[in-house]
A and B are shown apart, each in its own frame.
Chain A
Amino acid sequence: MCLAIPARILELERGSDEAVVSLGGVRKSISMALVDDAAVGDYVLVHVGYALNKVSPDEAERTLALIRAAGELDPAEFATDAAGGGLQP
């Protein structure tokens, strides 16, 4: 589903739009091109490699709690597979 994940900014690279964030404890490089005024320690919503906007620590925690709850009910083995191994032209 269309989830944007709250992430905490760990490092901001001066002179570029790249940032390193903590996405569920994993360090990840993302683009800050769509967000201004963000600082290390701020939370941003991340989607397809971009920070979308800043969110408050409270909203970040509430959203992460929902995502965690969804993860407990919907483990990764819910992967679908093409019946019969795929599509021929």
Chain B
Amino acid sequence: MSDLAGQLDIELHSTGAAPGAVIRSSRPLTAARIFAGKPLAAVSSQLPLLFSVCGTAQAMACAVACEAALGWSPAPSVVHARGLLLRAETIKEHLWRLLLDWPKALIRLDAMPAVVHMTTSAREREAAMAAAMRAFLQLRAALTAGADPFLPGAPVNQPPTDVLENASAILALTAVEQVFGTVPADWLAGVTTAADLDAWATRADTAAAALVRMVAEQGLADLGRCDVGTLPAGSGGALAPGLLEGLAAALAADAFVAAPLLDGQPMETTPFARELHRGGLVAGLAAVHGNGLLPRLAALLVELARDSAALAAAPLDAPVGAPAVAALAPVSGTAMVAGIGAAPAARGLLVHRLELLRGAAPETTRVLGYRMLAPTEWNFHPEGVVAKGLADIAAAGPADAGRPDRIGARARMLITAVDPCVDYRLSVS
């Protein structure tokens, strides 16, 4: 049963004539087939049960793809509720990366600097993460207590504001105490260049500041750097026009879902990719370090700061960006419609494409076909951004401080930084 989550098998070959990296995946990529034939309302409620790790992003992509296909509009309060929950999920996920995953990976690389830098213990960080997780679950319960805001065309959402504000405050406070050491809005305004980041990392006494110091001191800022590009965006980080429509056709093929390309090239979709197109700190770091480790860490921090600041300010009033959607050409003479929707999940862009048989209401509208494209398939493409970064780590291996275990540790750091959302097995030879 646990095999059904699938995993990645990653091999690094650092000795021998041809150093390189091989990535194989057993992730279930067409599980959404089980929704074919089901009523829309059932699919809407079952989908986040099945894909629960980024359940909010999944529910969002489903809802907006359906609404695009059907020409339905949700109430403004529903748009806000969805956006708030997605923001909270991203905060929860980024906190997990910063409090649990990155420290583990960096400590594995070299225990000594970690002993010096990491002033909070693993236990303390886990306790903080547990509190953040509880707050997210309370927020989700409060926002879904009445009608499900992710039901396509959902009517008005009126959550209990005290629960909302409490849970939002806990999430925002976790970011303050464990990551920024200050109000996230102030961090955003004050940390806009590499020099600012360095200055903040030197004086702040948080686990996240320790991560920045460790990356800089161990010369890891460029780790994983390669020439794989990012999914194109328009101004302000919105998706390039026509991108979704282009993906809609390609998504019909299982082989594309397993190893997606854009114009024949592997692409990256991650917090780094999102932030790169927004300019600012991450773009400035990328000008020096490309898509290396330090720009990736900075992207997590910037996104977390922005989302935490929005949550702390006015949870239900914070402006929410519209997810990207497109209605696809309906099949004329039938009640069949199709739509594609993309939600910015914590790890990258999540795309849902579906076909529906239109009924008068969710109860009588049926799903005919469902295809999904997750960030992991872009990022862990056999020739993608992680594979290329790992190949360089493998090639550099033998020359690196004569410690073969460091090859595996550096590989794990890169894999952690891009985050496959699934177990993986790494072998180094």
Residues of A within 8 A of B (CB): 1-5, 17, 23-26, 28, 31, 33-36, 45-49, 52-53, 59, 62-64, 66-71, 73-74, 76, 78-83, 85-89
Contacts and interface: CB of A to CB of B under 8 A. Distances in A.
A65 to B, nearest CB: 9
B409 to A, nearest CB: 18
29 contacts: A1-B51, A2-B421, A3-B6, A3-B51, A3-B53, A4-B53, A5-B1, A5-B2, A17-B126, A24-B4, A33-B127, A33-B130, A34-B129, A35-B130, A52-B52, A64-B1, A66-B34, A67-B50, A73-B31, A74-B28, A74-B29, A80-B258, A82-B382, A83-B382, A87-B20, A88-B18, A88-B20, A88-B391, A89-B19
B25 interface: yes
6 closest pairs, A vs B, by CB? A24-B1, A82-B382, A70-B31, A2-B53, A86-B22, A33-B126
Contacts, number: 155
A1 to B, nearest CB: 6
Interface residues of B, number: 57
B422 A87 contact: no
A2 B423 CA distance: 10
Interface in B111-146: 123, 126-127, 129-130, 133, 137
A49 B34 CA distance: 26
B260 to A, nearest CB: 11
A4 B46 contact: no
Contacts of B395: 89
B90 to A, nearest CB: 14
Given A86-B382, A89-B19, A2 B31 contact: no
A86 B24 CA distance: 10
Nearest to A86: B22
Contacts of B20: 86-89
A25 B127 CA distance: 29
Nearest to B424: A48
Contacts of B23: 82
A34 B130 contact: yes
B425 interface: no
Contacts of A53: 133, 137
